[in-house]
């Protein structure tokens, strides 16, 4: 395994960071990762990240929840043991449907919300005993860090990053 | 400044003329003599076969208001009451009610759009919204219809009980009240003088707010300081309190009292949700129209996105209230209140269930996607379906109580819609020409112009 090098450029202002990202992208360098202490609006667009599809998964999870609710109550209340409970019409699902709507609604929301959160954890690789991947603890407080891979163009990159207003530029060995 | 295009003006006038002709036709053809109705019923009987005729008869007699109606008309008759005579007179009354109700439903529908927009406008000012000020003049234009529209609704309601033969509100008929203990108990509220005076107070309050909000808004355009904005903010807070009380009472008076034996506690909210979502939809439609003509260059797709979000959210809010009202009554199934839905289920199945599809399922699926909310033609399509759905909603509130199973969406209904649509377009777009389409001095104007979602 060969150790490759990355440059860590550190900024102290999100506006400076944004313009730096635009400049680095304009020079056609690939940004590996950016670490920020809080969401910076428009950063994903500036970096050219693909939009998230998590809303689409949530919609499909909701449909699953709705199906579960309908199948479950149809089996229990209509097919398995259609009792007369207080005169409610248990002859077919549609006839007694208004009574089932609260459960249909709640299960739809339950499935959509929980499965979407779990999807988010899986895709972001987050779990309780996960080792933190923070290159510099200051990025959780008031510093912004941009990581760019180096392919033998260190001095060119360093000059470019200095121009963009980086307060600190470190060359780091990164084990793969 | 916007100028009312000649084409649109002609279009609105054509709508009004066509509508008037159709409404006149509806009134002329609805006066049927006893013999004519008798003949009509006999024809229907032979056409449909006995079974169906009996079923539809059963459906109408389930409706308490009409049971009262026919009961009162034959109250003076002897014990050997001629049920045939009662039935024919009942149907005769229903047929005569139809053009009145058609006119009333359409008048109320367009009035409630203007009222819904006024409520939305007030909420935007009270919440100091930063996205909507570029749409304020559009909203002010639409609310110009409120005063004439609400007066027309009140006039039709009162006329139906004075000029007409109690064609919408059965409690206006002294003969019915004399025989009906339930209405007698409510007559302290349900009497024609109280109805008129309350109506005038509601309309007066709403119109006063509209007048001053508009005045301060225009004064702020050229003002040096923010005093007009502050005044407008203060009266808005007062108006919203006034509105929520009067809107509730208006819905009892103008809609719920067509079924004077029935009552529901969340009815005011339900009517409010209907008017709110229709109003927001019309804001979107007028905005898209004006923008397509190049009059609103400061409105961008982000504003459209926000309006469409409101259409989506309030559609669901409406459904929530509709379902809450329906399910609570269906579940407990208390005879005195469940008749309301029994009539609607027996004689109005298609409009009753179709309205839920148009007002809920359709906007839910169409407007859920964030990208679709930014496409004008998509929002227009969804908006037209929502508007039609809410027309049917009002139709379902009024018609079962007045025409029963004799309903149809034919010439009287469509003409009434055309008449008020024409009037609405004429009044709204005339009002839009009276002031610049951008609020100049409003403190949040810049934020709104730069609004980005």
Nearest Cα residue to B252 out of B238, B262, B240, B241: B262
DSSP chain A: -PPEEEEEEEES-HHHHHHHHHHHHHTTPPEEEEE-SS--TTHHHHHTPPPP-HHHHHHHHHHHHHHHHHHHHIIIIIII----STT---SSTGGGHHHHHHHHHHHHHHHHHHHHHHHHHHHHT--TTPPP--S-GGGGTT-EEEEEE-SS-HHHHHHHHHHTT-SEEEEEEE--
Chain B positions contacting chain A at CB under 8 Å are 323, 326-327, 330-331, 333, 368, 370
Give every CB contact of residue B244 below 8 A, 6+ residues apart in sequence.
B272
Per-residue confidence (pLDDT) for residue B293, from 0 to 100? 92
A87 touches chain B (CB under 8 A): yes
What's the CA gap between B207 and B79, in Å, rounded?
Answer: 53
Q: Please, what sign has the CA dihedral across residues B237, B242, B247, B248? A: positive
Please count the other Cβ atoms lying within 10 Å of the Cβ belonging to residue A37: 14
Residue A51 at interface with chain B, using a CB cutoff of 8 Å = no
DSSP β-ladder status, A168-174 and A4-11:
antiparallel
Candidates A98, A102, A103, A106, partner chain B, best to mutate (most B CBs within 10 A): A98
Provide φ and ψ at A145, rounded to 5°: -130, 130
Among the ranges given (A143-157, B263-277, B394-408), the one the predictor scored with the smallest mean pLDDT: A143-157
CA B175, CA B172: separation in Å to the nearest integer?
9
Task: For residue B329, give the chain A residue with the closest CA.
Answer: A98
Among B330, B368, B370, the residue with its CB nearest the CB of A98 is: B330
CA distances from B177 to B169, B180, B347 (A): 11, 5, 26
pLDDT bin (cut points 50, 70, 90) of residue B48 is low
Residue span(s) of chain A under CATH 3.30.70 come to: 5-37+143-173
pLDDT band at B60 (very low <50, low <70, confident <90, very high): very low
pLDDT tens column, A11-38:
999 999 999 999 999 988 889 999 999 9
- All residues of chain B having their beta carbon less than 8 Å from the beta carbon of residue A98 are 323, 326-327, 330-331
Percent of chain B residues topping a pLDDT of 70: 92
For residue A42, give the chain B residue with the closest CA: B453
Name every chain A residue with its beta carbon within 8 A of the beta carbon of B326: 98
ipTM score of complex: 0.89
Contact B327 A59 (CB under 8 A): no
- A97 — contact with chain B (CB < 8 Å)? no
Question: Chain B contact for A54, CB < 8 A?
Answer: no
Q: Cα dist. B238→A15, A73, B203, B208, B209 in Å?
A: 42, 48, 15, 12, 9
Which residue of A lies nearest to B365 if distances are taken between CA atoms?
Answer: A59
Q: pLDDT (tens digit, 9 = 90+) per residue, B61-95?
A: 444 444 444 444 444 445 445 788 888 888 888 99
Per CB-CB distance under 8 Å, the chain A contacts of B331 are 98-99
Handedness of CA B106, B111, B114, B118 (dihedral sign): negative
Contact B333 A87 (CB under 8 A): yes
Residue B214 has pLDDT above 90, yes or no: yes
The reply to whether residue B368 touches residue A59, judged by beta carbons under 8 angstroms, is yes
- Using pLDDT thresholds of 50, 70 and 90, give the confidence band for residue A1: very low
Of A55, A59, A98, the CB nearest to B331: A98
The residues pairing with A174 across neighbouring beta strands, listed in sequence order, are A4
Taking contacts as CB-CB distances below 8 angstroms, the residues of chain A near B319 are none
Alpha-carbon distance of B366 to B275, in angstroms, equals 20
State pLDDT tens for residues B260-286: 999 999 999 999 999 999 999 999 999
Please report, for residues A95, B270, B387, the alpha-carbon distance to residue B281 in angstroms, rounded to integers and kept in the order given.
33, 17, 7
B128-164 residue pLDDT tens: 999 999 999 999 999 999 999 999 999 999 999 888 8
B415 in Cβ contact with B18 (< 8 Å): yes
pLDDT-derived band of residue B199, with 50, 70 and 90 as boundaries? very high
Mean pLDDT, to the nearest integer, of A138-158? 89
CA distance B356 to B429: 31
| pLDDT score for B56 | 45
Chain A closest-CA separation from residue B276 CA (Å): 24
Asked whether the beta carbons of B200 and B96 are under 8 A apart, the reply is: no
- Return the CATH number of the domain spanning residue range A5-37+143-173: 3.30.70
The pTM for the full model equals: 0.90
CB contact under 8 A, A98 and B333: no
Mean per-residue pLDDT, A99-128: 96
Question: Of the candidates A55, A59, A101, which has its C-beta nearest B323's C-beta?
Answer: A101
DSSP B175: H
Q: Give the nearest partner residue to B327 out of A59, A87, A98, using CB atoms.
A: A98
As a whole number of angstroms, the distance between CA A99 and CA A78 comes to 12
Tokens of B269: 């909210």
């Amino acid at each position: 395994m060969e150790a490759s090098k990355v440059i860590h450029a550190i900024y102290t202002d999100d506006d400076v960071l944004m313009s730096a990202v635009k400049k680095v992208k304009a020079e056609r360098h690939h940004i590996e990762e950016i670490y920020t202490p809080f969401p910076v609006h428009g950063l994903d667009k500036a970096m050219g990240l693909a939009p998230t599809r998590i809303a689409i998964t949530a919609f499909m999870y909701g449909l699953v929840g709705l199906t579960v609710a309908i199948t479950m109550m149809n089996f229990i209340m209509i097919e398995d043991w259609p009792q007369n409970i207080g005169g409610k019409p248990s002859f077919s699902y549609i006839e007694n449907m208004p009574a089932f709507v609260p459960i249909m609604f709640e299960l739809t929301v339950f499935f959509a919300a929980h499965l979407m959160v779990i999807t988010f954890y899986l895709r972001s690789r987050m779990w309780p005993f996960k080792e933190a991947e923070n290159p510099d603890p200051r990025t959780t407080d008031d510093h912004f860090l941009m990581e760019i891979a180096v392919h033998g163009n260190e001095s060119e990159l360093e000059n470019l990053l200095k121009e963009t207003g980086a307060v600190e530029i470190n060359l780091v060995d990164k084990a793969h | 400044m916007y100028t009312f295009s000649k084409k649109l003006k002609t279009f609105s006038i054509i709508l009004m003329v066509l509508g008037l002709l159709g409404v006149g036709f509806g009134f002329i053809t609805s006066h049927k003599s006893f013999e004519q109705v008798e003949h009509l019923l006999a024809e229907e009987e032979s056409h449909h076969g006995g079974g169906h005729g009996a079923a539809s008869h059963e459906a109408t007699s389930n409706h308490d208001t009409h049971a009262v109606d026919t009961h009162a008309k034959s109250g003076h008759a002897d014990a050997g009451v001629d049920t045939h005579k009662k039935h024919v007179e009942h149907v005769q009354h229903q047929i005569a009610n139809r053009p009145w109700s058609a006119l009333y439903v359409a008048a109320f529908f367009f009035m409630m759009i203007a009222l819904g927009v006024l409520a939305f406008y007030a909420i935007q000012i009270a919440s100091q919204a930063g996205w909507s000020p570029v749409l304020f003049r559009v909203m002010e234009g639409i609310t110009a219809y409120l005063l004439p529209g609400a007066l027309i609704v009140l006039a039709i309601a009162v006329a139906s009980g004075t000029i007409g033969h109690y064609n919408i509100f059965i409690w206006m008929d002294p003969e019915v009240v004399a025989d009906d203990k339930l209405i007698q108990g409510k007559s302290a509220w349900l009497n024609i003088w109280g109805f008129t005076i309350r109506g005038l107070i509601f309309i007066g309050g709403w119109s006063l707010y509209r007048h001053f909000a508009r005045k301060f808004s225009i004064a702020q355009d050229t003002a040096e300081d923010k005093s007009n904005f502050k005044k407008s903010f203060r009266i808005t807070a007062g108006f919203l309190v006034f509105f929520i009380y009067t809107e509730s009472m208006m819905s009892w008076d103008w809609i719920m009292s067509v079924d004077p034996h029935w009552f529901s506690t969340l009815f005011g909210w339900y009517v409010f949700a209907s008017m709110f979502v229709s109003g927001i939809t019309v804001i979107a439609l007028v905005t898209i129209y004006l923008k397509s003509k190049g009059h609103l260059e400061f409105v961008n797709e982000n504003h459209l996105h926000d309006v469409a979000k409101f259409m989506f959210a309030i559609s669901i809010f409406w459904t929530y209230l509709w379902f809450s009202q329906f399910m609570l009554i269906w579940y407990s199934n208390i005879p005195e209140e469940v008749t309301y839905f029994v009539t609607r289920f027996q004689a109005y199945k298609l409009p009753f269930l179709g309205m839920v599809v148009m007002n809920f399922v359709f906007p839910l699926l169409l407007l859920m996607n964030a990208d679709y909310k930014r496409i004008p033609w998509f929002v227009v399509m969804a908006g037209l379906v929502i508007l039609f759905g809410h027309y049917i909603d009002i139709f379902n509130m009024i018609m079962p109580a007045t025409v029963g199973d004799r309903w149809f969406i034919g010439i009287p209904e469509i003409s009434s819609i055309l008449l008020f649509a024409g009037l609405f377009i004429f009044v709204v777009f005339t009002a839009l020409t009276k002031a610049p389409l951008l609020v100049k001095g409003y403190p949040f104007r810049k934020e709104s112009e730069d609004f980005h979602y």
